[in-house]
Structure 1
Amino acid sequence: MSTQLPMSMEHHPDIIELRDRAERAVSTPRAQAVEALAISAGLFLAVSPWVVGYTAFSTLTVCNLILGLAYTVLMAGYGSAYERTHARAWAATLIGAWTVIAPWAINGGAHVRRTILTNTITGGVMVCLAMAAVGMTMTMAGLRRSRAGG
């Protein structure tokens, strides 16, 4: 009677190929550009209250600081963990969407054009970059499925 141990991913026959493919995908100029631009967008959102000058709205200031740093952390890990970033990219998309509506949701009746413009433009860019990351991770998943099927 032989006892078989469950096979973990570390011992999967195709693990080396999967890691190599993920490494090649991360090293593409498109993936590197998405990551670099996303980090820049997140850091800009974090410092935007001081750069643009709307620190009088303390709640929005704190919100942008936290969301900008969270977005940066999510997207900065994108390149190093390419094959595990699908959920991170979707979370970053939600952060970008919240960034767009935050001036109205947080400031209530105090609408200042610079807060609305900053958050709408930055949030839109963040959503686009996160969706680009989602698209690249889905492409990687499609490549894996097609490779496994054929």
Structure 2
Amino acid sequence: MTTHSSIEHHPDLAEMRTRFERVTSTPAAQAVEALALITGLYLAASPWIAGFSVLGPIAVNNLIAGLAFCLCMGGLGSAYERTHAMAWTAVAIGAWTIVAPWVIAGPMDVPRTIVSNVITGAVALCLGLAMMAMAGDRRTRDT
């Protein structure tokens, strides 16, 4: 009977952790994380900033989506090797934010809701894609 060593000591895992640590220590990764946190906070507060808090369901949606986006992207800098897959969730939240005004509130006469959500959603989507791309960036793998 053979005994297998712990996966924690596998050479591929150690190499992957080292690569992810290099990714998160770059200025680009830190900038993406900072912009993502600002984007998530704006999304959470956007009903009150843009002045559409009277639309109950969309205001609640933006609050929850913004906080979820902050949690997803906020963990990437400190534990990227365990949380990089959550960047997919950030992309999904960005896409949802873009379509949410039409899905939740239906046709409405509040263009600032649509403009705020579309711009914020597009930024969130791009930041999520940027964070996902950093894991596969050859420049950080080969250094």
TM-score, L = length of structure 1: 0.85
Q: Does 1:113 align with 2:111?
A: yes
Please point out which of 25, 46, 49 is paired with 2:44.
Answer: 46
Q: Does 1:59 align with 2:80?
A: no
Distance in 2 between the 1:18 and 1:86 partners? 12
- 1:92 Cα shift? 0.7
Q: Which amino acid aligns with 2:52?
A: Y
Report the counterpart of residue 122 of structure 1 in structure 2.
120
CA displacement 1:7-62 (0-9 Å, x = unmatched): 32212235444433322211100000010000110010000101111011000000
Q: Any gaps of 5 or more consecutive residues in structure 2?
A: none
Structure 1 runs of 4+ with >3 Å offset: 13-18
Q: Any gaps of 5 or more consecutive residues in structure 1?
A: none
Q: Which amino acid aligns with 2:111?
A: R
Report the counterpart of residue 92 of structure 2 in structure 1.
94
Alignment partner of 1:133: what SS? helix
How much identity, in percent, do the aligned residues show?
Answer: 52
Q: Which amino acid aligns with 1:93?
A: V
Tell me which structure has the larger Cα radius of gyration.
1
Distance in 2 between the 1:19 and 1:52 partners? 41
Superposition CA RMSD, Å? 2.1
Report the counterpart of residue 77 of structure 1 in structure 2.
75
Q: Is the 8 A contact 2:40 2:67 kept in 1?
A: yes
TM-score, L = length of structure 2: 0.89
Q: Which amino acid aligns with 1:90?
A: W
How many residue pairs were aligned?
Answer: 142
Q: Is the 8 A contact 1:39 1:75 kept in 2?
A: yes
